[in-house]
Amino acid sequence: MTVNTSAADATKESADSAKEQYLSFILGREEYGVDIKKVQEIKGWDTVTRVPYSPPHVLGVINLRGSIVPVIDLRIRFGLERVPHDATTVIIVVHVPGDRGERTVGMVVDAVSDVYNIAAEHILPPPDALGSIEKVFVRGLACQDGKMLILLDVDGLVVASVSDAAKAAA
Amino acid sequence: MAATILAVDDSASMRQMVSFTLKHAGYIVVEAVDGVEALEYARSNAVNLVLTDVNMPRMDGITLVRELRQLNDYKFVPMLVLTTEAGQDKKMEGKQAGATGWLVKPFNPEKLLATIAKVL
Amino acid sequence: MSLDLEMEEIVKVFFEESFEGLDAMESGLLTLDSHADRETINTIFRAAHSIKGGAGTFGFLEISQFTHSVETLLDEMRNGMRAVTPDAVQVLLQSVDVIREMTQSAQAKQPIVTVGADALSGELARILAQKGGAAAATAAVSGAETTAGAGPAPGANPAAGADAAAPGAAAVRSKPAAVVPIIIAPGSIEGWRITFTPEPTLFKTCNDPLRIFHELATLGPLEVIPHVKALPSLEAMDPTLCYLSWTLVLRGHVEHARIIEVFDWVEAVSTIIYEPLYLGGAIGEIQEPRGNPAPAAPSRKPATAEVTAVAAAAAAVPPAAPAAALKAAGDAGSIRVATEKVDALINLVGELVITQSMLGRFSEKYDPADLEAMRRGLIQLSRNTRELQESVMQIRMLPIGFSFNRFPRLVHDLSRKLGKKVELKLCGENTELDKTVLEKIGDPLVHLVRNALDHGMEMPEQRLAAGKSETGTLELNAFHEGGSIIVEVKDDGAGLNKARILAKARERGLIQEDEILTDEQIYNLIFVAGFSTADKVSDVSGRGVGMDVVRRNINDLGGHVQIFSTEGLGSTIRIRLPLTLAILEGQVLRVGKEIYVASLVSIIETVQPTRERLSSVAGRAELFNHRDSYLPIIRLHDLFDIEPDSRDIAKGLLVVVEADGRRASILVDELLAQQQVVIKSLETNFKQVPGLAGATIHGDGTVALILDVPGLITNFLERQSGRVELAA
């Protein structure tokens, strides 16, 4: 007698296919995740050239194989205490769509952690009290291996931090 | 062995379309931009079919057909002129010059292949 | 390549070709005004013909249909059946515009708007309806003609057949076919008996009866009965002639039109008799072609034996979409490059590879004795790289003629519209400049030319009254000077009226009542936003919104614009542009820990200021006394919030800069090297920053910011004084 398992299989398959991969990184005591499809590369600290009229979280620009790429310090952006940048500092370079075409931006973080597969239905909506991280660019929360992961919407984060709309602290 | 077709048209896009269509059907295609080039080629090369536009600089298609018919190798090569639907007189002129027949522009690839299949 | 992809590539070629053809038509038409040359008309005709044919083939039926009327008019002109009149030329020029627009729509994969085409079609139809008015009209030939001539084959009776011959065709046909007119009783045809008697010369056109029979056989069961009566003896036979005739019996419900189609190519050189076979009709044995075909042909009526399938008419023209603003098709993101330039490039890359591999050897094993050879290798490398760079830049260089070529038409149309007589002279069309600069200088030039024609050029009567020739001259001139390209727009019109400009400027509060200005400063007032001395706003050059935009565009390209004028004699507008936008000749300078690059074009000189020459006004504006003028001092460290070596001006350097006729000085700590830098965009990933024109990669791999000197000067002065200031 054959048991019809196709229905169960189908459900499992669709659940798997709804998973997205997130690259997680550490900032202070928190762990954050970003959609891995947006991550172009991870590099070490580089000499940053300051750009006038930039808000404090925009450290400046770097030379990434001939392209001029702005670098955002996420600690400053999220209102955490600043730490000095050294050889252990990591820059995650992301590539996101913008109003004028695609942008490449670097984000300074403490360290890169891991890659997680997270199913869409396991993402919890962001809580109301979230500190200085604007809810605009937090996709939600997820639980992985007993820790809480704050999932960021990279597109929104970049727009809010870098584009003309951002108010410059002149 | 695949048949060789000499395609003559001063419009590059038309030449390419004809060439592309014929090559995909397995023919070998030689392109010429006008009557002078075609005649030059024909003097030392033989083909199985000539397909020529009428309006071209330097030498038009009708004159080309007339000239080709003077060449020994081309006395019995089928030749088709490309005319527009309004060019009744061109069809007759072509025939008078020795053309086998004509193909009316605009034509689609299927029509082109079907017509050529009739003579080759 | 997939079918679709390859077709798309071919269609792209069609578009390119068509635009070239349209340009050729336009320049040809413009010369027709002065003298109508047969060869030119032919060229214009062929271009229209090609576009029509291609458009039809690739499915752009609106274009094909409209171009058809244009082609018809041109055909009449080239056949001498119609005179070339200025009005006809004007309509043709407008038609070229319309076809161009439609082709641009097609290229952009947008719906083709036929509003313009429909309107012009009416115009063209009107002209075509009028008598040609020119020489030998061998036009309208009577339809019914039958030249009996030598009978094609014994026994056959060429029945009189009236064909619907197109006008002019009859003169060309030698032996019209005898096509027996038939009244078809629909649905009752069971087959056909066809008597086919070709002329002996049939084979000379490589028409093979066998092929025809094969084709007929695809329509139904076919019986072929040859008739050999005409065959001569073997010795007398010429193998290149056809001595046979045939009776063909085809069974099936086949339409007359379809049968005729099969004989299309040979009907002019044969006698063909079509007899429909009806249900119940006896066929009987056929041994010989019957002499009298009468029994089978019920009656005669002019036959319309034409079977040409005209697909074009069937095409439904799509409803005119609301005219959505078409993005300027302009740049398709590709460049056509002369083969020599590419070859030169390939050679240089080859040399570079050699030099590089030569140097590579040294990295494997190092021997101090090799140092000299290595040094020479590096010099070689440097030379290779420089040559390669120059060669690559050359690829992007295009002759300014591409921009100039729109002007003959523009000047022609505009002067006609304004009622002015103007001759356009173009010089230096081959002067090359960077593709992007070329693209961006187009609009400003158009504005300047329109302005010159509208405001500068006088009406013919005024010119005569002033003792000038009736026809004015407008000259566009381009040449290289130093590392720049100079473009001049010169007219011999009325020149600029200083008094009027001053009055207007005072009226608009742009200058103080008692301000004394040099001529150059007065002329530069024209470039200020909102300024216009036109008595009435002409729709040609707008309300003066243009000139400030023109200057801004030129400045954005890294260039300058100057005006020279003499009242009564004319004006010259002189534009200086960099040859390329990608590379800058720069001065690297340091302020505190930051490195910046300033374009050498903006730098006059660098001075070490002495305390006596420094002064300040009202404790605010700091000034430097330099060569008898007072230059405002821009503290870059303040603007950019940098910690400088020292805030004491006397301890630093002042870089004297100039832009748009205004001078200032920038305080820096140190001057570093002068070098060529590659300009990189800050906006791609970041945003536009005031005071900066871009960024570049410094020798050590870090980013150095490029200063926007004109912007710095403007912003600084505006902030200082609250209004636009003219440099002292």
Asked if C54 and B14 count as a contact pair (C-beta separation under 8 A), the reply is yes
Structure tokens, C635: 């503290």
Cα separation of A128 and C73, whole Å?
Answer: 75
Checking if the pLDDT of C142 tops 60, the result is: no
Asked if A74 and A111 count as a contact pair (C-beta separation under 8 A), the reply is no
Q: Indicate the pLDDT class of residue C133, thresholds 50, 70 and 90.
A: low
All partners of chain C with 3 or more CB pairs under 8 angstroms? A, B
Look up the domain containing A135 and give its range: 20-160
Q: Indicate the pLDDT class of residue C705, thresholds 50, 70 and 90.
A: very high
Q: How many domains does chain C have?
A: 5
Asked, for residue A110, whether it belongs to a domain, the answer is yes
Instruction: Note the pLDDT of residue C654.
Output: 96
**Alpha-carbon gap: B75 to the closest alpha carbon of chain C (Å):** 7
Instruction: Note the pLDDT of residue C549.
Output: 82
For residue B96, list its beta bridge partners: none
Asked, for residue C166, whether it belongs to a domain, the answer is no
Q: Out of B6-15, C205-214, C679-688, which region has the weakest mean confidence (pLDDT)?
A: C679-688
Q: How many domains does chain A have?
A: 1
User: Cβ separation of C265 and B102 shorter than 8 Å?
Assistant: yes
Comparing C714 with A103, the larger pLDDT belongs to A103
Instruction: Note the pLDDT of residue C176.
Output: 42
**Span C254-285, pLDDT tens digits:** 888 888 888 888 888 888 888 888 765 544 33
Instruction: Note the pLDDT of residue C139.
Output: 33
Checking if the pLDDT of C665 tops 90, the result is: yes
User: Cβ separation of C206 and B78 shorter than 8 Å?
Assistant: yes
Q: Indicate the pLDDT class of residue C728, thresholds 50, 70 and 90.
A: very low
Q: Please enumerate in sequence order all residues whose Cβ is within 8 A of that of C195, keeping only pairs 6 or more positions apart, or say none.
A: C156, C245, C246, C247, C248, C271, C272, C273, C275, C289, C290, C293
User: Cβ separation of A61 and C703 shorter than 8 Å?
Assistant: yes
A-chain residues within 8 Å CB-CB of C640?
A: 52-53
Cα separation of A35 and A120, whole Å?
Answer: 12
User: Cβ separation of C206 and B85 shorter than 8 Å?
Assistant: no
* HSE toward the beta carbon, residue C712, CA cutoff 13 A: 29
Instruction: Note the pLDDT of residue C224.
Output: 92
Asked, for residue A168, whether it belongs to a domain, the answer is no
B-chain residues within 8 Å CB-CB of C268?
A: 92, 95
Asked whether C and A share 3 or more beta-carbon pairs under 8 angstroms, the answer is yes
Inter-helix orientation angle C38-57/C86-107, to 10°: 30
Return the CATH number at A90.
2.40.50.180
Instruction: Note the pLDDT of residue B43.
Output: 93
Comparing C111 with C369, the larger pLDDT belongs to C111
Q: Indicate the pLDDT class of residue B48, thresholds 50, 70 and 90.
A: very high
A-chain residues within 8 Å CB-CB of C641?
A: 52
- Which residue of A49, A53, A69 is in closest CB contact with C685? A69
Structure tokens, A19: 């998973």
Q: Indicate the pLDDT class of residue C672, thresholds 50, 70 and 90.
A: very high
Question: Helix, strand, or coil here: C605?
Answer: strand
> DSSP strand E in C627-725: where?
629-635, 653-659, 662-668, 670-678, 692-697, 703-707
Asked if C666 and C602 count as a contact pair (C-beta separation under 8 A), the reply is no
Checking if the pLDDT of C42 tops 80, the result is: yes
Q: Does C308 touch chain B (CB under 8 A)?
A: yes
Q: If you average pLDDT over residues C124-139, what whole number do you get?
A: 64
The ipTM is 0.86
Edge to edge, what strands does the sheet with B4-8 contain? B28-32, B4-8, B49-53, B79-84, B101-105
Could you tell me if C377 and C411 lie in one domain?
Answer: no
**Most distant CA pair in chain A, distance:** 76
Instruction: Note the pLDDT of residue C428.
Output: 93
Asked, for residue C76, whether it belongs to a domain, the answer is yes
Asked, for residue A57, whether it belongs to a domain, the answer is yes
Could you tell me if C273 and C355 lie in one domain?
Answer: no
Q: If you average pLDDT over residues C499-521, what whole number do you get?
A: 78
The dihedral region occupied by C495, where left means phi > 0, alpha psi between -120 and 50, and beta the remainder, is left
Comparing C268 with C583, the larger pLDDT belongs to C268
Asked, for residue A13, whether it belongs to a domain, the answer is no
For residue C595, list its beta bridge partners: C590
Residue holding tokens 């590879």?
A: C353
Residue holding tokens 């048949």?
A: B3
Instruction: Note the pLDDT of residue C298.
Output: 35
Instruction: Note the pLDDT of residue A161.
Output: 84
Could you tell me if C372 and C455 lie in one domain?
Answer: no
Q: Out of A84-98, C151-165, C583-597, which region has the weakest mean confidence (pLDDT)?
A: C151-165
Instruction: Note the pLDDT of residue C436.
Output: 81
Interface of C with B in 395-454 (CB under 8 A): none
Q: Does C81 touch chain A (CB under 8 A)?
A: no
Structure tokens, C370: 């090799």
Nearest to C224 by CA among C249, C244, C195, C203: C249
Kindly report the average pLDDT of chain B as a whole number: 89
Q: If you average pLDDT over residues C398-412, what whole number do you get?
A: 90
Instruction: Note the pLDDT of residue C229.
Output: 86
C-chain residues within 8 Å CB-CB of B92?
A: 169, 172-173, 268
Checking if the pLDDT of C534 tops 70, the result is: no
User: Cβ separation of C204 and B69 shorter than 8 Å?
Assistant: yes
Could you tell me if C235 and C270 lie in one domain?
Answer: yes
Question: Helix, strand, or coil here: A120?
Answer: helix
Residue B109's CB is within 10 A of a number of other CB atoms, namely: 17
Interface test with C, best of B58, B68, B95, B119 (most C CBs within 10 A): B95
Q: If you average pLDDT over residues C284-308, what whole number do you get?
A: 33
Checking if the pLDDT of C307 tops 70, the result is: no
Could you tell me if C570 and C463 lie in one domain?
Answer: yes
**Span C74-88, pLDDT tens digits:** 988 888 888 888 888
Instruction: Note the pLDDT of residue C141.
Output: 29
Number of Cβ pairs closer than 8 Å across A and C? 67
Could you tell me if C518 and C438 lie in one domain?
Answer: yes
Look up the domain containing C710 and give its range: 583-721
Instruction: Note the pLDDT of residue C525.
Output: 81
Q: If you average pLDDT over residues C218-223, what whole number do you get?
A: 89
Cα separation of B89 and B54, whole Å?
Answer: 12
pLDDT in tens, chain A (170 residues): 334 444 444 444 444 557 889 999 999 889 999 999 999 999 999 899 999 999 999 999 999 888 899 999 999 988 889 889 988 899 999 999 877 678 999 999 999 999 999 988 888 888 777 665 677 788 889 988 888 999 999 998 888 888 754 444 33
Cα separation of A88 and C637, whole Å?
Answer: 31
Instruction: Note the pLDDT of residue C719.
Output: 73
Asked, for residue A15, whether it belongs to a domain, the answer is no
**Span C412-442, pLDDT tens digits:** 989 888 999 899 999 999 998 888 888 889 9
Could you tell me if C568 and C509 lie in one domain?
Answer: yes
Give the rounded distance of the alpha carbon of C589 from its chain centre: 44
Kindly report the average pLDDT of chain C as a whole number: 78
Could you tell me if C72 and C48 lie in one domain?
Answer: yes
What residues does each domain of chain B span? 4-119
Domain B4-119 has CATH 3.20.20.140: no
User: Cβ separation of B93 and C172 shorter than 8 Å?
Assistant: yes
**Alpha-carbon gap: C242 to the closest alpha carbon of chain B (Å):** 14
Comparing A19 with C45, the larger pLDDT belongs to C45
